[in-house]
Structure 1
Amino acid sequence: MSFPKMFAAAALLVTGLLTTSTEAHAGFGATASLSSLSDGTAWYPSLDYRQKKFVLQVHALELIGGLPADTINLGVDGAYVVQKVELGNGVDGVVQAGAGFRLLSDTGFDNPTFNFVAKTRMGAELKKGGGFGIYAVPTIGVSSIVTGDATLTYGGGLEVSFWLK
């Protein structure tokens, strides 16, 4: 897929998210991550979209920041709440199962690297006003290049999220 097509697809995704119904606790926010993976990748803060039990994280800052250097760094993560327990007044404990995808390449797509990971976000969320959460996030997956070489990818870290409803 050419860079213009990929950029157009990303723009359509963001436009779709912005025009989706925002009923039932939907919100936009950001997540900062203090983490890394064994393949050396780490993230700037993501732009997040929340809808009921689902969180979508788009790593737009890496994409935008890499373009002047002719680098494509496109990442998307998603997580779904599988367990929620009230810990106290306005505080929930959550466990979220999730997955992530990342594409890292030059704009000519010479030997692009793909990264697929599974992750579990475990933490606490404050629900007053907007929202705030802090999570421990272990991660495991595979990094691969188009030639067929693949390596185990593992890591994890701490994520801090905030969102507006």
Structure 2
Amino acid sequence: YSPLLAQLYELDGDPRRKEFLDDLFSFMQKRGTPVNRIPIMAKQVLDLYMLYTLVTEKGGLVEVINKKLWREITKGLNLPTSITSAAFTLRTQYMKYLYPYECEKRGLSNPNELQAAIDSNRREGRRQGFGSSLFTYSPSGTHGLLSSPKLPVAGLGLASATNGGSIAPVQKIKKG
């Protein structure tokens, strides 16, 4: 692992941290979206282990969005509550790094429920999230629509084309 990834392992002495991070990184590697860069928030490493623990304790990503629990998550991560974009940033990072893992390991929600939560959150006058409807999750480890983290999500322009509607996951048809 890179020195930056190593920082995540050293944030505290919780033995479950190493176990979780090893499992998460190997899972992301297998699905073709390896974690090469560590997310930074408020000039500090975003603790993926704590973020995952806090969100799943509250019932998973969809619950946190629906019940607007991001302020509690922000506090739990010891991030300054003055960050106005904290909820949006945490949600985006969680979707990128942790949501596929949550789906696989805990099955607390599915991408359609996530899309519905994001859409209803949006309708309440929250600021537009970009590219959220492009998220596809495939448990078999095949690449989703955005498997390459190098693609700028906003640059695809698909989010506006769907007018906030959701894009259903692509079904593969087996030819016998």
TM-score normalised by the chain length of structure 1: 0.31
Greater helix percent: which structure?
Answer: 2
Greater strand percent: which structure?
Answer: 1
TM-score normalised by the chain length of structure 2: 0.30
